[in-house]
């Protein structure tokens, strides 16, 4: 007789919390971008501290405006890439939902990727609004989705370092 999985470890039950985290990222990302679009004109900047501004910037490219100057094809390329990545991440979450750090990383990356895909579909660009600067130097503007993707990437590295350490 084949062994059956307990209900609590079924793929759908282990997938739902991670999809919930992704949904929270998407909602926070879209809410903050909606506020920026409502209260800022393109190019506006408001100083918050000596090193932090809120701005309204539009990014038609990828990270650090990569391909922003292309003729428009990049919009659909990044939408397609985001969709393929989302399917792959959901599949990975369904298989590895029990690995907490890894699943947190994937959930954050999924939410961030979909948040930016939504922007590309709605506006044709990604709305960025966080600007960190110091002594004339400014880091490229970013948003909640970008922050979630970055945190997810950091967690992937942490997860791998922990995995290597456990293997020794």
Active site residues: 128, 146
> Is 28 in contact with 144 (CB distance < 8 Å)?
yes
List Cα–Cα distances, 124 to 21, 75, 93, 118, 137, in angstroms: 25, 6, 29, 9, 28
Could you give the CA distance from residue 144 to residue 22 in angstroms, rounded to a whole number? Answer: 12
Residue 104 · residue 138 · CB < 8 Å: no
Strand positions, DSSP E, the chain = 45-49, 52-59, 126-134, 137-138
- Closest by CA to 118, choosing from 143, 94, 97, is 143
Beta 45-49 vs 52-59: how paired, if at all? antiparallel
């Amino acid at each position: 007789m084949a062994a059956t999985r307990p209900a609590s470890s079924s793929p759908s039950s282990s997938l739902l919390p991670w999809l919930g985290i992704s949904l929270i990222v998407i909602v926070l990302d879209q809410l903050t971008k909606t506020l920026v679009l409502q209260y800022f004109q393109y190019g506006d900047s408001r100083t918050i501290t000596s090193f932090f501004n809120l701005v309204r910037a539009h990014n038609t490219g990828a990270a650090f405006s990569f391909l922003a100057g292309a003729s428009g094809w990049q919009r659909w390329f990044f939408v397609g890439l985001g969709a393929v990545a989302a399917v792959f991440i959901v599949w990975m979450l369904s298989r590895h939902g029990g690995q907490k750090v890894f699943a947190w990383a994937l959930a954050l990356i999924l939410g961030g990727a979909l948040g930016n895909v939504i922007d590309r579909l709605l506006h044709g660009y990604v709305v960025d609004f966080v600007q960190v600067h110091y002594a004339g130097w400014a880091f490229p503007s970013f948003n909640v989705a970008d922050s979630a993707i970055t945190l997810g990437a950091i967690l992937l590295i942490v997860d791998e370092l922990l995995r290597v350490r456990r293997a020794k």
